Amino acid sequence: MSTNFDEIIDRTGTASEKWDRYAGRDVLPLWVADMDFRAPPAVIEALNARVAHGVFGYTHPAEELCDVIREVLNGDYSWRIEREWIVWLPGLVTGLNVACRAVGDEGDEVLTAIPVYPPFLSAPRHARRTAVTVPLGEEDGRWSLDFQALEKAVTPRSRLFLLCNPHNPVGRAFGREELARLAEWCARNNLVICSDEIHAGLVLDADKNHIPIATLSPETASRTITLLAPSKTFNIPGLGCAFAVIPDPGLRQRFTAAMAGIVPPVNALGFTAALAAYQEGSGWQRELLAYLRGNRDLVEQEVARMPGLAVNHVEATYLAWIDTRKTGLTDPAGFFEEAGIGLSDGARFGGPGFVRLNFGCPQSMLLQALDRMKTALP
């Protein structure tokens, strides 16, 4: 492995959201979803060269960026997209919010399965839509879409389904059958699908692949807004470069109309980093996945031994969703924070009694955090 993911990089003094939350306290921050690793060398070199040029005027996406995205989507997922299907965005959360404004009318319903990344719950409200949440099913520590519950929740006012695949926080990389069933159900209920696939490049299980729901059939593609970015895979979320893929011209027109005059373009450095990441980052990505697999295995093994805690298998992402309900803790995130581990509170994801642990960090830090958790539990 040519990248040293074990290196501890001091992020203090960089206005890091993750680290500043516990500034001056001995709390290991394993919460917000960025990793404590440097971006791929090719990305850093490209940014250095762009910065050295010194002129930072208004910038449009380079033709070669669109070309490499088309190549990557075709190579990784056999997904052939047209250049004009791409709509650039400064972030995926923007995309979720724009999708809620673009589909249906005020008072309409947006469905999503919980627990889920919190902006899925707030985006409908921001658009004056009603968020209808349907719990994911859980059986023997495996989470899945609950089609009976979805059937009960859908109404004539339902317009949009917000899908998170791979899923944050439960770490599922949904399989073809499950996605096909969802696509068929959305078609039957005439729902547009907005599929957040920001974690697509982070499938950890060797026997699984990411499947963009839009690749299932032309009919599914025509009702789908897919949100993608290099930000999670290559650890560049602070550079604000993302995009939507919207094959249907009418849906794309509604989406861009909802953005008009409000959503700023991607910045020059975001484009530069994205181009280098997609063109030259795949070797680094393979090494990252191997390292994350090791961290994931450690989390699963150690958490399973902790009294009252349980964690499901993480198929994708660098996030572990830990069930603390058997401990009887009323505020598990607060409890672990007191013990020196900063985790995300599951309640914000619609999953009270759970905490989310980000294992995208050097293994020594992860081991220290797991040790603190073990020691803190009665």
Least CB distance from residue 204 to ligand PLP, whole Å? 15
Beta carbon nearer to ligand PLP, 30 or 229: 229
Beta carbon nearer to ligand PLP, 197 or 302: 197
Beta carbon nearer to ligand PLP, 229 or 316: 229
Separation CA 38–CA 182 (nearest Å): 37
Least CB distance from residue 23 to ligand PLP, whole Å? 21
Beta carbon nearer to ligand PLP, 104 or 230: 230
Contact 258, 84 (CB under 8 A): no
Beta carbon nearer to ligand PLP, 104 or 360: 360
Alpha helix ranges (H) inside the chain: 17-20, 41-53, 63-77, 92-102, 119-126, 147-153, 176-188, 218-222, 249-259, 268-280, 282-304, 332-338, 363-376
Question: What is the SS3 assignment for 42?
Answer: helix
- Give residue number: closest CB to ligand PLP: 91
Beta carbon nearer to ligand PLP, 274 or 369: 274
Least CB distance from residue 233 to ligand PLP, whole Å? 12
Q: For residue 212, give every residue at least 6 positions away whose Cβ sits within 8 Å of its Cβ, in sequence order, or none.
A: 73, 77, 79, 195, 197, 200, 226
Least CB distance from residue 164 to ligand PLP, whole Å? 5
Least CB distance from residue 168 to ligand PLP, whole Å? 4
The site for ligand PLP (CB under 6 A) is made up of: 33, 91-93, 117, 164, 168, 196, 198, 229, 231, 237, 242
Beta bridge partners of 139: 142
DSSP state of 271: H
Separation CA 205–CA 267 (nearest Å): 34
Least CB distance from residue 60 to ligand PLP, whole Å? 19
| Angle at alpha carbon of residue 148, lines to 142 and 154, rounded to 5° | 120
